[in-house]
Amino acid sequence: MRLIAENLSGERGGETVFSGIGFALERGEALVVTGPNGAGKSTLLRVVAGLLPAAEGIVKVEGGGDEFPSVASASHYLGHLNAMKTALSVEENLGFWRAFQGEAGLSVGQALETVGLDGLGHLPFGYLSTGQRRRASIAKLLVSRRPVWLLDEPTAGLDKASEERFAGLMEGHCREGGIIVAATHLPLGLEGAKALQMKVAG
Amino acid sequence: MRSLFLRDIRLSIRAGGGALIGVIFFLAVIATIPFGVGPDLNLLSRIGPAILWIAALLACLLGLDRLFQADREDGSLDLLVLNSDRHMLALTVLTKCLAHWAGSVLPLVIAAPLLGLFMNMEPLGIGATAFTLLVGTPAITFIGAAGAAVAVALPRGGLLISVLVLPLTIPVLIFGVSASYGAVADPAPFLQPFLILAALTLFLAVVGPLAAALALRHGTD
């Protein structure tokens, strides 16, 4: 399958943040979006996910089949926020997203082990540290299958070892034919990724 | 969908969920009324159904602002919207409404007979009021969901939601109260207002979630 964006422009509060952005990613390819604060990296990801309307241009997936007909249905979106409930345990949170998002991937236990949180699943999410929360949120990418990962500052708050582990996860995802679009200003350790440099408009 | 329902029920009974806040507010309002109105037992039993309904209506509105705002603040709302190809967004909203109703409003309905005693109501009147509350309060939640979706991005939207939603709940209140009176006062009919109340609930079960889904889809930023 392919993820294609043509001539995208995005707006925030009526002001154009970026324009004329296009890319096409094949299976197994990754795109790293870099740029200074305010360049529109997050806005670009939200436009690609379909959470914000594009001011111009289109985003589409080709060859997703019946399972993943649209970008939204084919994508995991990992934003700044972790989308986990502090009052529920880590296992309950992940179990919910696994059941709700469908296309079950790893089991909750396996996913927690993969991100190095095994043994902490019974704790309320609110008890975890910032880095642990992020790792639990990354485990959310693993419990249900999506070919496209849209990652917004995925490594914010992670320590060195977790960053490396996450780089390994992303490489594994690409090797299995997945597509990654990641916005970051920290090096992600993704080899062979395409790069997109964004500038502050105006 | 079942998982979403269970998650929201769990959240409402865990710490900070606020399932009991509504019941306590309900109790506080009903317990205050006799002090204000005076100890005239006939008067209290006559206005009982109306007071129960108004207090229940206000208690319903109390927790509505958190319906989508809590999900928005932690980013869950983005993922709920993102999954709208798999689960139609209106159905997701309907599920959240049902969970909210079961978690926060059903306790009000269960507490209503007890509070009816405070108002010196006779058993038939208490039963009729509790029954009309059971049938009518989902309608309030469905209208409230549309209001909550419109105000989801506003930091202090709670009062705005109440102001938006209250006028729309007036028909539910009118038919709920008149059905409750119909069961006790003889010439007044029970069945007709009750059926209209049931129809309102069914109608709003469709319109409310659709409107809320539309507002949520355009409200993401």
Q: How many domains does chain B have?
A: 1
Determine which helix (DSSP H) or strand (DSSP E) holds A163, and give its type and residue range: helix A160-175
Residue tagged 């001011």 (tokens): A55
Cα distances from A81 to residues A74, A159, A185, B79, in angstroms, run: 20, 18, 17, 11
Taking 60 as the threshold, does the pLDDT of residue A192 lie above it?
A: yes
Q: Hey, which residues does A9 pair with through a beta bridge?
A: A56
State the count of interchain CB pairs (< 8 A) between A and B.
74
Calculate what percentage of chain A has a pLDDT beyond 70. Answer: 99
Cα separation of A1 and A66, whole Å?
Answer: 12
CB A47 within 8 A of CB A3: no
Which structural domain, as residue segments, surrounds residue B21? 2-219
Alpha helix stretches (DSSP H) within chain B: 2-13, 19-37, 41-62, 66-73, 76-82, 89-100, 106-118, 123-150, 158-184, 191-219
**Residue A36 pLDDT level (bands cut at 50, 70, 90):** confident
Cα separation of A125 and A94, whole Å?
Answer: 10
Q: B40 is written with which tokens?
A: 């005239």
pLDDT value for A157: 85
**Mean pLDDT computed over every residue of chain A:** 88
Distance to chain B for A146, nearest Cα, Å = 11
**Residue A202 pLDDT level (bands cut at 50, 70, 90):** low
User: Looking at the partner chain, which of B6, B11, B75 has a beta carbon nearest the beta carbon of A83?
Assistant: B75
Calculate what percentage of chain A has a pLDDT beyond 90. Answer: 33
Please name which of A139, A143, A141 lies closest in space to residue A131, comparing C-alpha atoms. A139
Mutation for B interface: A42, A51, A148, most B CBs within 10 A: A51
CATH topology for A2-89+149-197 is: Rossmann fold (3.40.50)
Give the ipTM of the model, two decimals please: 0.89
- Please provide residue A96's backbone torsions phi and psi, each rounded to the nearest 5 degrees: -60, -50
Q: Average pLDDT for consecutive 10-residue bins of chain B (221 residues)?
A: 89 76 91 89 90 93 86 90 88 94 92 90 92 95 93 82 91 94 86 94 95 87 66
